[in-house]
Structure formats: structure tokens, C-alpha cells
Structure 1
Amino acid sequence: MLQYELPVQVQEITSLAKNNVLKGQTDLIVLRHLACQLRLTLLTIEDTSEAVFPLRYQLTERQSCLHRILFYRPEQLLKEETLSFVGFVSGRHVSIDAELVSELFQADQQMLAKLIHIPGLLAYSSLELRPGRWYNLVVMQDFEVKADLKRVDMHQHAAYQLGPRTYDWIRIHSGIFPGGLAKNAPQLIKTRHYAFTHTVKNFQMHEVVY
């Protein structure tokens, strides 16, 4: 899930009973770790002349945390120029059923395969820090790529149909990497926090611009 723009009624986050903080700087620590792992994995890649993209890697980190990495255009990640990113942090609903988890996984896999057709998309990284708590990092050339992402049909289905049934809340951070991944000094531009109301078709949202 990469972006949310849901056409429903919006309420203020101050009315939330739980998780009513943005945690931008805390999340940034994890996103910086994801960027570091992207860079380290990138440096292990040798000849890609006959490679099939996206290049897929799977790491097992501390406490058996699963970390997935996909490279769409790795050569562009080596440049020391400013890159854009979106960081997606989510908390799954405690009563989510196995069928919905499977449906979300399948939609996610189909969407990631289609992203190869978006020229400005460079890499995708996903880490389950603990059960039900996912951190996702999407690295792009610039923020114009987000418009292309939102037009992907499986992305729309995952974001608008499956997301509200799957998550209690999500935080979406937009920012930049000045100097690229080599510098690994991400800066936040804005954060959007969404909390879903499962009893009605509604959500609560709050945005902060840094």
C-alpha cells in the first residue's frame, strides 16, 4: 500500500481514542534502517545485464523479522542526487481473518510486479518489525511518480477496498534523501495519519507539514 486518498468523510485525529500521535521522528529511525539495508544489498549486486527486474531479495533480521527488497532501477540508486521517498507504517486490525490476509498478499504481489512499468520508481522495501506492524519504504526519483502509482489498478483495489478492512491505522510519511542513499539522511516533508472506523465506512485523518 503506497498512498491513500479516500473519498469519504474526514474527522480530526484529536478525537481518536488511541494512537493519536504522528511519530515522525521515531518512524524515521526505522525508515533510515531500511534505506541502509537497501544500500548494503545494492552494493552486493554484480552484473545485471541479463537480470529480470524487479530484482527480489529477502532478508531475515533480528528476532526473525522478515525484510523484503525489490530493485526496479538499481543503477539510479547509486547516484549521489536527491531522491524522494514515501514511508508507509501500518497497524493491522487484531481480528483480521486469514482469508483477508491472503487476499491482501496476493494483491500486493500483483501490484509490485506491475510497478516495473513506472519509470521513476527505483526500489521498494518492506519490513515486519513485529507481528502486524509493517514498515514500507518506496524510493522514487521525484514525487511525480506518486500520480503514476495511484493509477495502478491493483494499487487502487488494495488501498480503497482491502486497506480499510485490514488496518486499524496507517501513517504515511513523504520526504527526500538529499544526496541519495549514500548520505542516508532522510528529511520529512509531511505526514498523514489515518485511523479507520470499522463499524462504519469512515476514517479519521490528520496531516502535518514539516
Structure 2
Amino acid sequence: MSNQPEVLTPDTRTRILNLAQQLLLERGFNAFSYQHIAKELGVKSAAIHYHYPTKEDLGTAIIQRQRKRLNKWRGLPRLTELQPQQQLEALFEVYLEHLRSEQRVCLFGSLAAEFRTLPEAMQQELRLLTRELTEFLAGVLEAGRAAGTLAFKGQPTAKAAQVLTTLAGALQMARVHDERQFYLIFEQLRLELLPE
């Protein structure tokens, strides 16, 4: 019997990442192991370690992938060509998609609860993800206020942080109660941001 780790199909790395993210959103980062992933994929734990030597590597890769997706999404012509109000609606749609999924929580919402127990590399990546998303939304809000299509008081960065925190919290509320809680909070945000 060979001591070499089991080498799987070319998409194994992505399958591992997808399943790990699903487990993270369902249970939390500290509540799943490589054994959970290996069992679900029908492989040995050594195969997981081959692609992601440590759980920290895996967790960091999940957040880095989310950052790449965010930055790609931000640069898509179908988003950049929209007016600020429509860009805000596009961001809202991302959170609505989370609501429609069984996890009903976003990556930030899941990891923020465990932040102090996360490895340093994951903490840094989560801070970067949050900063990049906040900067994007602040730019949308600032442009929308200048165009008269969005309304809010205070600094755009502060309002962006409030909106994102509210959306993450609304997903948590929906997880505890039901989706009606999310929609109550969501509609209040829209009421406050979109002028009549």
C-alpha cells in the first residue's frame, strides 16, 4: 500500500472548498473537521490534507475565494453600468439569495461569531473582505446621494457598515425565526435609503 495521499479528480480542490464552505455556513468553522469532508466526499482525510494541509489553510482559502468573487462581481459591466440605486438593489439581491438558501447566513455572519477563535490568517482575510465590501457599498451610497437617488445622514462609510451589519443580522434573525423577520428589516432599510 502506498504512503502517497490519494490524488483525486482535478475538481477535487473545488469540491473540498465548496463542501467546507457549506459546512462552515451550516455549523460554524469550529464545528466541522476534515473527517466530515472526507466522509461526505467518500475519500480519506489524507486527500483533504493534500490540497489543504491545515484547516487554517482551508478556512483562509474559503475567505480568499469570497474576496475574489466580490472583486470580480464589483467589476462586471452589468453592475458597473448600473445607476447607484440599481447597484444597491443588486447587493440586496445577494443577501436575498442567502435568505433563499438553507443556511440563511452569510460568510461574515457565520465567521464573526467565532472571530476570536479563528486563526490569525482567517481573521486578517475576514477583515479585508469586510473592508472591501464596505468600501464598495460606501462608494455606491455616496454616488447615489450625489445623484439624488439614495438618501441617508452621516458619512457613507458609516452608513455602509450599518447597512451590511443590519443585513447580516437580518439573516441571523431569519435563521432563528423565519424569513418574515428578514423582510421586515430589509424593507425598513429600503425605506430609509430610497427617497420617496
Same fold (TM over 0.5): no
TM-score by length of 2: 0.25
Rg larger in structure: 2
TM-score by length of 1: 0.24
Q: Which has the higher contact order (CA 8 A, sep 6+)?
A: 1
Which structure has the highest strand share of the two? 1
